[in-house]
Structure 1
């Protein structure tokens, strides 16, 4: 069963809205328990943003403060956790067996290519071992997948912060994808 961020938001009492945003792809209003995504985003992008927002808000409630672990680590952790919620490991392996093109894999999983990359990058050594060399066949260089993402977050203290990152799988330094492809700015 695929993760449903709309149902999860409803269960947690978090409002979700789509509006034209002047800045960023999404806005998290932590004190109002609201996630707003830009109405120009497609459904896959909305699902990704809502999932990321749910993870970010959940980590905030669980005591993970950016001033304690660092904004970069917190946001990379959120990206990895959101990807795990969106993509089941078995589904990922089946999709990669069927096709090595990252756009086709993302289509099969009904997610964005960035979510596929983050899921592969965040695999534990056990799961990477289970998948064997299969994941190394993904043709990350077949397309220009670079994209600048940004969201505005108003944390529980009311502080406004613009979080931006460039997703670019070509910046990886070895054959194993890792979250350095999400270069936070």
Structure 2
């Protein structure tokens, strides 16, 4: 087997012909010598700045050997479905119901606060603000209460003039809005359960 000094001398062209021929003959049988030859050429190319842009590194064999040496980790088998406690199924249902009631409670609280505020606002003596930009009182006079709608005489006549077909179309649109709202709530709840 050739030593590293002979290999380096061969690369530099400083080796005698007899030794050079015997060293080249030993290349075919010695894998370690071939790897050293490749590494020396890579080092020389790097030092001269002639390194190729894309280097062919074969890491697959090294990774495969490393994986063979790794210990095998056995994961436990998942529990059958019949051994899962049933209380886990009930908890998400209770949570969903609680969230729905919480949402309705918040919406009702906000609506009650707005109605109470508007009614209190109307009960006060109105002072005309000095700045027209900050004027929140409608041009026509007082603001009407939010909770109660008092139709005028002409609106009653218009309401009675609606045909039966217009009323059914209006009901269909309202029902479509309600169905869409319920569908959106179900989708939102399904996403929360999955998370």
* Short-chain TM bin: under 0.3
Structure showing greater radius of gyration is 2
The structure whose residues are more often strand, as a share, is 1
**TM-score, length-normalised on structure 2?**
0.16
**TM-score, length-normalised on structure 1?**
0.17
The structure whose residues are more often helix, as a share, is 2
